[in-house]
Structure 1
Amino acid sequence: MIARQLRDRGQAFPIYVVVIAGMLFAALAYFTISKAGIVRSSAQGAADAAALAAAREARDNLMSGVDLATLTPEDWEQVLQGNRFESGPGPCGAAADFAAKNDATASCSRSGLRFTARTKTNGTVGDSVVPGASGHQGTAVATAEITPRCRLKSAEPGGGTSGSTPTPAPTSTSTSTPPPPGRIEFGCDKGALVVYDPARPSSWSSLAAALFDLRLIA
């Protein structure tokens, strides 16, 4: 009887080892999948931040030489369409900086008012029992868009609305610099009114935040 029990135990031991090994493999595989999800999430967070940073940098900086105090209503229309935003390397440089803050690298492209960031995490899944997962880096893509939320409502002098015939400025024989245009009013979403007054100018970045929204679209 004792010998039979010993034989049964001997036969059960390999099965026990296989079951334990399978459980360990499943646990390691689950850990790898969880870590891969974290890496992927980090890549997406970096891509979102990078795309928004690029769009914000473009929105908050106008092209070199643009003086708000001298813009005509027609010029403001161009500004509202996004045709006066910075077009140099600044926006994509901001995308790369924000990706680095999220432990990732980023490439950036622009199409009109849309900025696309493609990121790759510096961190990896690490060594894994799952085939092909070892050393895998997370990648993601995000696109942010600058969206105008205001329209030109009125401009002074003349008090006319956009598109109306402005009142001619009085002539002068003085050689002094002519006065800048008057207040510019913008009608925005939800009935909001935004005013730019060259007599009490605010920074473009604060005005831009009122005139334009930033949003992720992909």
Structure 2
Amino acid sequence: MTMVSRHEAGQAAPLYITAVAGLLFLALAFFAFGQADVTRNGAQSAADAAALAAARESRDQFEVGFLANVLDPGYLEDVFNGDVIGTANGCTAAAYYAGQNKADVQGCHWATSGRWGFTVEVKSQESMGTSVIEGTDKEHATTKATALVEPRCSFERNTQDDKPDDGGDGGAPPKPVSPGELVCDGVTWDIDPENLKLLPDIADLFTVRLAED
């Protein structure tokens, strides 16, 4: 009986080793896929951050032109009730934020369909890593994201008096008339020509968000 048991044990040993080797390979393969997912997720985070940075940069540069035309009711209707698109390019900011998240920008361009925003494509600086899956040490994650700039307010034109007020004194320069008011998240802001500093910040007037499509 002892000799038979030893014989059977000798036959089982190779099977045991093969099974363990197979399980070890599967474990390493799952680890490789997990590592690849981490790299892809990191690249997606970099793309999101880069696209948001580009959109914010474009929005912030839009402020100069906005303040220069804020007393023009037609302009305000176009901006808040129409489809005005800022012209400033924010791709320089996109490259910086992609780099901060260990990725390189492969492409940065205006969003499609006439929307105000940017689509940024990135490539991870780090590879998928060495694993049991051949070639992963040379593969890099690539992905993209789109961020949009959208108004948070609506504009209501002043229809009571479109003519400047001369103040009742024929020699005094006419006082500018308010073009109307902005309604932002349920809060009304009167546009006072003599106190434009009281207007909300550009970040309160326009939101930046990632596009879901």
Q: Is TM > 0.5 for Structure 1 vs Structure 2?
A: yes
Superposition TM-score tier, normalisation by shorter sequence? 0.7 to 0.9
Shift of 1:180: 5.7
Q: Compute the TM-score of the two structures, normalised by the length of structure 1.
A: 0.78
Q: Which secondary structure does the structure 2 equivalent of 1:193 belong to?
A: strand
1:51 paired with 2:51, answer: yes
Q: Compute the TM-score of the two structures, normalised by the length of structure 2.
A: 0.79
Which residue, out of 118, 123, 132, partners 2:126? Answer: 123
Task: Determine the structure 1 residue equivalent to 2:97.
Answer: 98
Shift of 1:2: 3.7
Shift of 1:209: 1.7
Identity in percent: 36
Task: Determine the structure 2 residue equivalent to 1:214.
Answer: 208
* Structure 2 residues without counterparts, runs of 5 or longer: none
Residue type of the partner of 2:93? A
Residue type of the partner of 2:21? A
Residue type of the partner of 1:22? G
Residue type of the partner of 1:144? A
Which residue, out of 141, 149, 154, partners 1:146? Answer: 149
Quick check: 2:181–2:188 contact (8 Å CA) kept in 1?
yes
Quick check: 1:69–1:181 contact (8 Å CA) kept in 2?
no
Superposed counterparts of 1:28-177, under 5 Å? 28-62=28-62, 67-68=67-68, 71-80=71-80, 81=82, 83=84, 85=86, 87-89=87-89, 91-106=90-105, 107-111=107-111, 112-154=115-157, 160-161=158-159, 166-168=162-164, 170=166
Quick check: 1:114–1:143 contact (8 Å CA) kept in 2?
yes
Q: Which secondary structure does the structure 2 equivalent of 1:60 belong to?
A: helix
Task: Determine the structure 2 residue equivalent to 1:19.
Answer: 19
Quick check: 1:39–1:125 contact (8 Å CA) kept in 2?
yes
Task: Determine the structure 1 residue equivalent to 2:195.
Answer: 200
CA-based RMSD: 3.0
* Structure 1 residues without counterparts, runs of 5 or longer: 155-159
